[in-house]
């Protein structure tokens, strides 16, 4: 796309160079930056352009552009906002997805930028509008809809506006009422309460009362009577009126030629209909997509945007969304509208427009590094959407029981076994929990059923608030590898069921033996995602695209394929620390192997020597599932098929499904029973959890730059990097409930818990429940290693409080046989000397008291000081 330099608005110079939100208001058809303090404050008579910049883990930047139109904005300003959005996209390289937002009908993506909600105010900068600053408080009523983000809309202050399905907020001078419709959910009520608090803080300076009115309780209390008094007394509510949302079964394609929309004659929607030199409209009812070819000019894209606006006006559908996408950067939703959409390789982005814009900005003294950052990354690995700083527990299934694995064996799985894992990690507000099962290829059906049943019971014991996933060997998603980080798959099995099975079938027992012959294929993308898979110890198992580890007795070899990268070769050294940590290895490069190496493998043989091409990543498929009389039926929106039926609880044959980098697995909420689920989550940390290495991908990758694999004499373990914990934002972490963070770790001895409430209204407990005090000293030290934040201590630093009697650690612990007298049992740690405090906690007292309260309690629990 050729970009005209005259069309680049100066207000957009330097935009999108860092992650965050940027907002411009259209004034006299020009964008004017809005101060950050006014973000989320919109006026009904104005139009706005909003840029959301997201920094990917690869270092590249992704952009989403929205233009918001107030209900009273002029048609000319709305058109100017649409055109300026196209210009901004051109300045950012022409890859952003652009959204048209109309007041009262915003997308959830847009609303998620402004927490907890947006409430547009009357007024505007256009002619005839003034920002209204009312001295008297006007009674207003709002309706709130949404479980994840809230759509807040002002409605007429009348009884006829109320209904049983929604939640309403009545804002009066001295009190704010929240009316909960009888059919509203607990999640919606919790979100509405956040809006009530926002109104109180924004429009009442935090000085007013809040009351909740339940639909159907009539005059049960004074607040309810006062609420209905504003409406002249109680009366039955009308039913909710039907919405006028536009729905269409078939998407209608339209070709834009010289600003005019012309229908495209086609029996079915296929990608072949789209020409890279043209722009198209796709009418899908509630939204209209504008598809812009990579070879179209800026003027053609502006004309297509204008045609879309005119198309909506001609059909009186001004509430519909307009979503503009660029060729090769289409959204999943857009591609799903087509009957067929072929998989395509990564397309290099045209640098024509970006280079010219960047050159112009650079001459004007603007830092253009942000624009250059948006360049595509050739080798971008999929990133897991999960915090990697959590705590992991793993059980091996043996018949109808499960055996907790020690930390050293948590990432060593046998192909003939089934495993259950529980992963607790920091969420946005509280800890999250993931419970999963892993089925080896050689595992028996009875133990698979047992693993599923026991995992379901674990989820049920958490009141169904944990996420659940089921993983099969060879089809693990990136999220699974991110949790385990270093993953080892061994042949054979240890359970009685597996041993009996191979005995009955008279099969050889090939269970891995440390002193036997074993060949491991090493794969992965980095220290945070590396696997070693045991394969048959024969030459035909080799592949030039991989590295291998071979051991036989006291001999250890590492084999480096010619097509492997230095990053993968480094993983071999790391996996040696897991498989043979104290043995010297012999390097074997492909083509120069020793005779001893081939002798162990039984002689030379042919093996694949071509580069393995990465399978194209297909779109994720979302299925709704029903389980009736032993049949699991999955209804989904697959491109190839609309219905998949799995008999007797079986799983789909992976060979018949499209391959992906993140393979399909049964992931999601527990489906064992149809019970009410609550939004808030409550999971526990295990006091026995040990982390030998920091669980941060970023820190592991940093550590790898200080290692020299070629200089390795013995199997030197990689450097251990202690990282600040947790990874999530401290403002969110500080708000977590201390009680929720310190619940008992095991399901077998889980203490009773308080009734669950929405996270937004749940009170903070005064003190967390006490944990079991029978943990061992070595487990405590390992626990501390996982949670410690290293701090430099200044010389001659004085921390001990004056006048405070110091006691040794042994007299301060809760299980002490000689407890210290006259101490505050809630602050046992304060009686430790500075030196002993640093020895036990690994940090200074000052650093300790800067931690969130819930984390302080966890550290004290691990040391039996709580």
Query: Is the backbone peptide bond immediately before 726 cis, with ω within 30 degrees of 0?
Result: yes
- Which is more confident, 305 or 777? 305
Question: Strands 486-490 and 412-414: what pairing?
Answer: parallel
Task: Compute the CA torsion angle 199, 205, 211, 213 (nearest 10 deg).
Answer: -20
Q: Is-same-fold flag (5-128+349-373; 140-229)?
A: yes
Q: Given a cut of 60, is residue 643 above it in pLDDT? A: no
Give Cβ neighbours of residue 246 (< 8 Å, ≥ 6 apart): 285, 286, 317, 320
Taking residues 24-37, report their average pLDDT. 89
Residue 283: how many CB atoms within 10 A of its CB? Answer: 22
pLDDT single digits (tens) 784-816: 444 443 434 333 333 455 457 888 888 888 878
- Which is more confident, 641 or 474? 474
CB 426 within 8 Å of CB 726: yes
pLDDT single digits (tens) 373-427: 444 444 444 555 566 667 899 999 999 999 999 988 899 999 999 999 999 887 7
**What distance in Å separates the CA atoms of residue 180 and residue 216, rounded to the nearest whole number?**
9
Q: Given a cut of 70, is residue 572 above it in pLDDT? A: yes
DSSP letter assigned to residue 401? E
* pLDDT attached to residue 703: 41
Taking residues 102-119, report their average pLDDT. 87
**What distance in Å separates the CA atoms of residue 619 and residue 370, rounded to the nearest whole number?**
29
- Which is more confident, 143 or 357? 143
Taking residues 287-316, report their average pLDDT. 84
CATH of span 775-866: 1.10.950.10
pLDDT single digits (tens) 739-754: 334 433 333 334 444 4
Alpha-carbon distances, residue 776 vs 687, 769, 779, 818, 862 (angstroms): 10, 20, 5, 19, 10
Q: Where are the domains of the chain?
A: 5-128+349-373, 140-229, 252-336, 775-866
- Which is more confident, 730 or 470? 470
Sheet with 391-398: list strands edge to edge: 401-404, 391-398, 418-426, 431-439, 467-472, 666-669
CATH architecture of 140-229: 3-Layer(aba) Sandwich (3.40)
CATH architecture of 252-336: 3-Layer(aba) Sandwich (3.40)
CATH of span 5-128+349-373: 3.40.20.10
């Amino acid at each position: 796309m050729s970009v005209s330099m005259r069309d680049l608005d100066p207000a957009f110079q330097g935009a999108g160079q860092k992650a965050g939100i940027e907002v411009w208001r259209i004034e006299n058809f020009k964008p004017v930056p809005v101060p950050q303090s006014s973000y989320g404050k919109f006026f009904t008579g104005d139009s706005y352009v909003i840029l959301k910049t997201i920094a990917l883990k690869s270092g590249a930047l992704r952009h989403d552009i929205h233009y918001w139109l107030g209900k009273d904005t002029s048609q000319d300003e709305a058109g100017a906002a649409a055109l300026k959005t196209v210009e901004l996209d051109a300045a950012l390289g022409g890859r952003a997805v652009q959204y048209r937002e109309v007041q009262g009908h915003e997308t959830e993506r847009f609303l998620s930028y402004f927490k907890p909600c947006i409430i547009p105010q009357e007024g505007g900068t256009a002619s005839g509008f003034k920002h209204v600053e009312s001295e008297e408080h006007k009674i207003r009523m709002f309706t709130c809809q949404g479980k994840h983000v809230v759509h807040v809309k002002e409605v007429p202050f009348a009884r006829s506006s109320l209904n049983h399905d929604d939640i309403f907020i009545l804002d009066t001078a001295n009190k704010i009422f929240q009316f909960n419709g009888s059919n509203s959910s607990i999640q919606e009520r919790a979100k509405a309460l956040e809006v009530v608090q926002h109104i109180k803080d924004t429009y009442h300076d935090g000085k007013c009362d809040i009351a909740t009115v339940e639909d159907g309780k009539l005059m049960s209390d004074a607040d309810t009577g006062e609420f209905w008094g504003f409406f002249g007394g109680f009366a039955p509510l009308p039913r909710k009126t039907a919405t006028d949302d536009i729905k269409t079964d078939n998407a209608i394609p339209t070709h834009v030629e010289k600003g005019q929309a012309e229908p495209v004659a086609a029996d079915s929607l296929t990608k072949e209909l789209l020409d890279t030199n043209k722009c198209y409209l796709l009418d899908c009812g509630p939204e209209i997509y504008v598809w812009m070819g990579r070879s179209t000019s800026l003027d053609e894209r502006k004309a297509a945007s204008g045609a879309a606006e005119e198309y909506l006006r001609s059909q009186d559908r001004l509430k519909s969304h307009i979503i503009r996408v660029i060729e090769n950067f289409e959204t999943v939703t857009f591609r799903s509208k087509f009957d067929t959409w072929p998989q395509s390789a990564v397309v290099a982005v045209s640098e024509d427009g970006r280079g010219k814009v960047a050159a112009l900005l650079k001459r004007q003294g603007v830092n253009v590094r942000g624009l250059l950052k948006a360049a595509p990354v050739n080798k971008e690995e999929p990133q897991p959407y999960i915090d990697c700083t959590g705590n992991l527990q793993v059980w091996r299934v043996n018949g109808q029981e499960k055996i907790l694995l020690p930390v050293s064996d948590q990432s060593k799985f046998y192909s003939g076994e089934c495993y259950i894992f529980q992963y607790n990690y920091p969420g946005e507000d509280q800890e999250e929990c993931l419970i999963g099962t892993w089925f080896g290829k050689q595992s028996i059906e009875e133990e698979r059923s047992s693993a599923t049943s026991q995992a379901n019971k674990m989820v049920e014991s958490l009141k169904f608030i944990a996420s659940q996933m089921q993983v099969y060997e060879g089809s693990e998603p990136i999220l699974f590898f991110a949790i385990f980080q270093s993953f080892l798959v061994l042949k054979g099995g240890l359970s009685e069921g597996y041993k009996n099975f191979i005995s009955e079938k008279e099969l050889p027992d090939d269970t891995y033996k440390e002193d036997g012959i074993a060949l491991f294929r090493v794969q992965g993308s980095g220290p945070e995602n590396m696997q070693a898979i045991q394969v048959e110890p024969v030459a035909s198992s080799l592949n030039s695209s991989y590295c291998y580890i071979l051991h036989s007795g006291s001999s250890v070899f590492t084999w480096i394929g010619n097509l492997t990268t230095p990053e993968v070769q480094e993983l071999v050294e790391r996996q040696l620390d897991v498989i043979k940590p104290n043995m010297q290895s012999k390097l074997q490069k492909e083509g120069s192997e020793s005779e001893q190496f081939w002798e162990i493998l039984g002689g030379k043989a042919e093996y694949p020597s071509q580069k393995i091409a990465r399978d194209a990543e297909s779109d994720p498929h979302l299925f709704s599932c029903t389980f009736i009389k032993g049949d699991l039926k999955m209804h989904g929106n697959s491109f190839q098929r609309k219905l998949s039926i799995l008999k007797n609880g079986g799983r789909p044959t992976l060979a018949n499904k499209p391959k992906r980098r993140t393979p399909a697995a049964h992931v999601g909420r527990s489906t064992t029973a149809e019970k009410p689920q609550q939004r808030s989550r409550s999971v526990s940390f295990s006091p026995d959890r040990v982390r030998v290495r920091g669980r941060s991908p970023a820190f592991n990758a940093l550590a790898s730059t200080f290692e020299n694999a070629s200089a390795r004499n013995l199997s030197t373990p990689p450097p251990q990097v202690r990282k600040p914990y947790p990874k999530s934002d401290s403002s969110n972490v500080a708000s977590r409930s201390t009680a929720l963070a310190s619940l008992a770790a095991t399901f077998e001895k889980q203490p009773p818990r308080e009734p669950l409430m929405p996270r937004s209204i749940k009170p903070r407990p005064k003190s967390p429940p006490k944990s079991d005090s029978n943990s061992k000293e070595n487990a405590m030290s390992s626990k501390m290693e996982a949670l410690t934040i290293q701090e430099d201590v200044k010389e001659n630093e004085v921390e001990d409080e004056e006048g405070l009697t110091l006691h040794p650690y042994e007299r301060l612990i809760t299980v002490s046989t000689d407890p210290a007298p006259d101490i505050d049992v809630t602050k046992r740690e304060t009686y430790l000397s500075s030196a002993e405090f640093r020895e036990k906690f690994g940090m200074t007292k000052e650093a300790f008291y800067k931690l969130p309260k819930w984390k302080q309690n966890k550290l004290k629990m691990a040391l039996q000081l709580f």
